Amino acid sequence: MLIGACLFLMACASDAAKSVSLTVWIPAHPNESVFFQRLLNRYQQRHPQVHLKLVQVPFEVMKPRFVGEAQPKREPDILLMPNDWTGELSHAKLLQPQQASTQDFLAPALAAFRYQDTLYALPLSFQVAALIRNQDLVPKAPSTWDEVKTVSQALQRQGHQGLMYDTKSFYYHAAWFHAFGGHLTPQGARIQISPVPLQQSLNFVRDLEHAQLIAPRASYSVMTHLFNAGQLGMMVSGPWALSEARRNQLKVAVSPLPTLPKGMKPRPFLGAKGWGLNAYSRHSHTASELIRWLSSLEVQQEMLNTLDELGSHPALYQHKALSPEKQGFFLQAQTAVPLPNHPAMKNIWAELNWTLSQTLSTQRPTAAIVTEAMKRLQRL
Amino acid sequence: MKLRFQTLRARLLITMVGVVILPGLFSLLWSHWSVQGMVTDLLNKQGDDAGQVVDNIFEEFVNDSFLKARIITQTRDLQTAVHSRETIDLINQLSALHQELNLGLYDGVIEVFDPQGRLLASEPRVAKPLADANMVKGALQGAILSGNLFSDGGLKISAVVPIYHSASAAPSGVVAVSFRATHKIAEEIQKLANTHALIFTVPDQGRPQVLATTLPEDTSASLVALYAQGQSNRVSNRRYLMAVTQQSALNGTFYLGAAQDISRLSANLERLSGGLMAFQMFAVLLAFLVAQSMIRNLTYKITALVDGARAIAADQLDQPIVIASQDELGHLARDLDRMRQKIRETLHQKNQVLQSLTLRNAINQAIISHRGNELLNQVLVQIIEALEAEKGSIMMLDKLNGRLMLKIVYNAKEGVAPLYVRDHVSFALGEGVAGRVAETGESMICNDPAQDRRFKTYRFQENSEQRIENLLCIPLKVEDEILGVFSIDNKPGGFEERHQHMLEDIAHQVAVAIQNAELYELSITDGLTGLYIRRYFEAMLEQEVRTSQRLVRETSLVLFDIDHFKKINDTYGHQVGDEVIRRVAALAKASLREGDLAARYGGEEFALILPGTPLELAWEVADRLRRLVQQTVMEYGGHRLQVTISLGCASTPRQATSREQLIERADLALYASKHRGRNRSTCYEDTLLPSEPA
């Protein structure tokens, strides 16, 4: 054992002393690529023996390329991945487990990358949907659906729309589903869904539709179109929507989603982006060091100031200078539910969206919709 | 090695360089340039093709946007939504169409305008309309328009089509599909064309501007700057080759560039060219080496022949001419070498003859000039030097005791005869090599005395300096009579039979000379006394008188006779008288110095010639002889006799100027001794002359 330990230490020492080249993959994005290239340049200046290569890969092909190349090419060493890939990539044994202190990361962000009790990536940022409002139309954030109703009716009277969100997407509906106590529970190779909370949440949105608080035909495109055109007072969306609103000179504010009747707190999904380490990396020790730095408070603070990203370090949100919009998302994150990273998730999105479509486009009883949905899910 | 251009090798080398190397090098350069030219043409063609492909793809995007704009206007739900102004439906329709028609491929934007030209909706949403207001206006009048336009600092490509509804004949709105020349479109072109794409402008004033590119910013800028400088439809910055096509917009001109990474191809070209050059260099080098080897092989033989011929011309005949080949030059070399050997043999024989003749001539000169031991000494020296031997000796057969007695020894190193050897060395007949030669009369060669039992080693010969390494022993014989033997010792390399044959001739010649000398000696000496006879005496005296006069050297003559000899004859008989004469003659001969001559002048009269001897000294010699004779007791036949002699001395040129006058004056002095009482010596004086009659 002693000899093994010595050999390990020697390997680590030699790995650290020699010149090492690492490849980092990030999703192609003009602003983010400039930001991350600047970060890597700084790291190389601090660690001259480490040569870093930043590669932008289109998001839609990133996962299949990593699955195909990680083992034979032993590249990339590091990739910036969404948390919902975690289960699939860990099943393929392509990710190296990592260690992290719970003090350095928000608990739901860390949990988003934990699969079967093992952490597979260090979270960099998180996304969560909250209530975004046009302050010129809605000066005060409604905290309940009753208040939403009041505000919406007032806006409609002015020829504007009240609140919109992509009602046909379970990603947004999940906030109500979770509020009613629903869970997406991994069970073997499947995901178990609580049918009662699902039905209750479907009833809830049907009620919203009947109350004309939401537009059943509204898509994400309609929502952003009207909001950015100044015709919509409120929308449910994430931090990614802020930049376009700013480009349209809108004065926006972010607040937690309005509570449901009986005081139930909406619990939207919390998705995260984090640094995964290729299990076949030639320089896993050096890559691990780099990941640790890329997830550090220093980097997250800079990212918070540069990009429309929400860092995963709790200390970021203790700062008084934090923008109200990001503070609003942080508040929403307190009740968020980590986006499931089970491999089976990719199969159930369509079925869950179907339930929403059925609920908002037909008059079928929600119980029947749920029953059929359960059968459809069983067939997957 | 200095290479002279007159040599065959240099000329062959120059010819080879002219025939093989230079064409090879020209071929090498030509192929290098040809490959480069071909690759450059290939690259240019490929670049042009890529430029055309990029141009076509861009055109396809333009056509695609136009076609899709027309498709959108034909969508009934959209027509309804536009006509009803139902915003949510309109946006949802646009969103669905955008997705279905894959307009995101080039960041296309669908815009819907109302009959007043106001933007109703777009997908994705834009804050400011992309389509040109004039084109929208034209479309509202029923026109279908498509075009490129510079605005807001960029290039937009728009297709504007009127949309109708069945409820109205006039357009209910306008649908525009537009996209900007952004990096996205460049990336899509790159995916399809597999080449980097650039969209750029080159304004008349100001710097060229890259609107869209898939290349790094600085690379694009450098390529575009190159194009702006030269306005050629192909530019290259070494790594990239960019082909450019010109495009027209409604309000300006822009350019499409297709940039191909030629660095790898250039590197391959460099490798190919380098490999080709290396191969050809190797081929040229190989040709050079082969040609050099052939030239060396040829010139080596010719040089060997020339060197051999030159050596023969310079009388250097010991170096063989060897060319180990079966070709014509090899045969020529062997013939030339046989000629060399024949010439060397002939010259050798000639030299031997010449050596023999030279030696014979020297021997003849010695025979003519010398007699006795001096003759033997000269002969021995000449032979030793001619044979290049170390030393030698001559032993003469003593007829009294029948042994070989060492007479002459000569050592080429020392040059002097070791007298002690001469005193001690003698051989009986049959003893040792010399004794055997003297006994058999046959010459012998002994090249290994240590192993030859015939050889007799004297103790003094045991040291290294006197050791005999080899010897050649030749008898001195005339017909069957052995006079002695030559022994020539220590010739480097030993003796051969030819040495023996040469020396046998010379030995025979010398033996004859010795025998002739002995016979001559007998003819000029008196049989009783062994002294010279009167005739020889007078001849020699005549010669000495002339010599003395020429050299102004005093020579004396002593005449003497035995006192009262007639009385002895009468008393004891003629035999006793002869014995007395012989004994006195022997005393006279013994008293002479080297160069003096004694002769029997008459019955009991004798004469002594003393060359170079003043008169006074001659008197002393004469008187010493007188006293010796007087003191000598002669026993013969039981008789004891004592005799005296009377002597007269005269000298020339002091007292006489001719032979006759000298004899006369000496005779007068002898007469005076007789007259004065005998047994005395008298020098001539003028007073002894008889007085002349008055």
Rounded to the nearest angstrom, the gap between the alpha carbon of residue B196 and the centroid of all alpha carbons in its chain is 69
Span A228-259, pLDDT tens digits: 989 999 999 999 999 889 888 899 999 999 99
**Type of residue found at B595:** G
Greatest mean pLDDT range, B102-106, B297-301, B466-470, B662-666 = B662-666
Name the residue with higher pLDDT: B160 or B312. B160
A29 at interface of B, judged by CB pairs closer than 8 A: no
Q: Nearest chain A residue to B90 by CA: give it.
A: A222
Determine whether B604 is an active site residue: yes
| Whether B123 and A225 lie within 8 Å, measured CB to CB | yes
**Type of residue found at B618:** A
Q: Closest to B88 (Cβ–Cβ): which among A222, A229, A247?
A: A222
**Type of residue found at B486:** F
Q: Please determine, for residue A178, whether its predicted confidence score (pLDDT) is greater than 90.
A: yes
Name the residue with higher pLDDT: A165 or A218. A165
Rounded CA gap, A33 and B417, in Å?
A: 120
pLDDT band at A82 (very low <50, low <70, confident <90, very high): very high
Q: What is the per-residue pLDDT for A3?
A: 44
Catalytic residue among B187, B604, B664, B692: B604
| Whether A225 and B92 lie within 8 Å, measured CB to CB | no
Nearest Cα neighbor of B57 from B212, B195, B235, B155 is B195
| Whether A229 and B125 lie within 8 Å, measured CB to CB | yes
pLDDT band at B80 (very low <50, low <70, confident <90, very high): very high
Distance from CA of A298 to the nearest CA of B (A): 29
Tokens describing residue A40: 């890597």
pLDDT band at A261 (very low <50, low <70, confident <90, very high): confident
Span A108-154, pLDDT tens digits: 999 999 999 999 999 999 999 999 999 999 999 999 999 999 999 99
| Rounded mean pLDDT, A252-267 | 94
Q: What is the per-residue pLDDT for A33?
A: 86
| Whether A226 and B122 lie within 8 Å, measured CB to CB | no
Q: What is the per-residue pLDDT for A22?
A: 95
Q: What is the per-residue pLDDT for B424?
A: 59
pLDDT band at B28 (very low <50, low <70, confident <90, very high): confident
Distance from CA of B57 to the nearest CA of A (A): 21
Instruction: Please state, in angstroms and as integers, the Cα–Cα distance from residue B157 to each residue in B55, B129, B177, B248, following that order.
Output: 14, 13, 8, 11
Q: Nearest chain B residue to A161 by CA: give it.
A: B88
Q: Please determine, for residue B418, whether its predicted confidence score (pLDDT) is greater than 70.
A: no
8 Å CB contact between B650 and B642:
no
Contacts of A250 in chain B (CB under 8 A): none
DSSP H/E element including A234: strand A232-237
DSSP H/E element including B599: strand B597-600
Q: Concatenated DSSP letters for B142-164?
A: T--EEEEEEETTEEEEEEEEEEE
Q: Nearest chain B residue to A250 by CA: give it.
A: B127
| Rounded mean pLDDT, B550-564 | 93
3-state class (DSSP) for residue B570: helix
Residue with tokens 């190193």: B413
Q: What is the per-residue pLDDT for A11?
A: 47
3-state class (DSSP) for residue A102: coil
Read off the DSSP letter of residue B687.
G
**Type of residue found at A269:** F
Return the HEC string of B445-508: EECCHHHCCCCCCCHHHHCCCCCCCCEEEEEEEECCEEEEEEEEECCCCCCCHHHHHHHHHHHH
Q: What is the per-residue pLDDT for B522?
A: 65
Task: Tell me how crowded residue B423 is: count the other CB atoms within 10 A of its CB.
Answer: 9
| Whether B88 and A217 lie within 8 Å, measured CB to CB | yes
Q: Closest to B121 (Cβ–Cβ): which among A219, A225, A244?
A: A225
Give me the domains of chain A, ranges plus CATH numbers. 17-127+270-338 (3.40.190.10), 129-268+342-379 (3.40.190.10)
Distance from CA of A2 to the nearest CA of B (A): 50
Distance from CA of B267 to the nearest CA of A (A): 23
Q: Give the number of beta-carbon pairs within 8 Å between A and B.
A: 36
Contacts of B127 in chain A (CB under 8 A): 228, 247-248
Q: Nearest chain B residue to A248 by CA: give it.
A: B127
Per cent of chain A over pLDDT 90 is 72
8 Å CB contact between A272 and A338:
yes
Tokens describing residue A365: 């009883």
Span B496-530, pLDDT tens digits: 888 888 888 888 888 888 877 777 776 778 888 88
Instruction: Supply the mean pLDDT for chain B.
Output: 86
pLDDT band at A2 (very low <50, low <70, confident <90, very high): very low
Distance from CA of B127 to the nearest CA of A (A): 6
Q: Please determine, for residue A9, whether its predicted confidence score (pLDDT) is greater than 50.
A: no
Q: Please determine, for residue A309, whether its predicted confidence score (pLDDT) is greater than 80.
A: yes
| Whether B125 and A224 lie within 8 Å, measured CB to CB | yes
Rounded CA gap, A95 and A76, in Å?
A: 11
Nearest Cα neighbor of A242 from A309, A312, A299, A305 is A309
| Whether B92 and A244 lie within 8 Å, measured CB to CB | no
pLDDT band at B556 (very low <50, low <70, confident <90, very high): very high
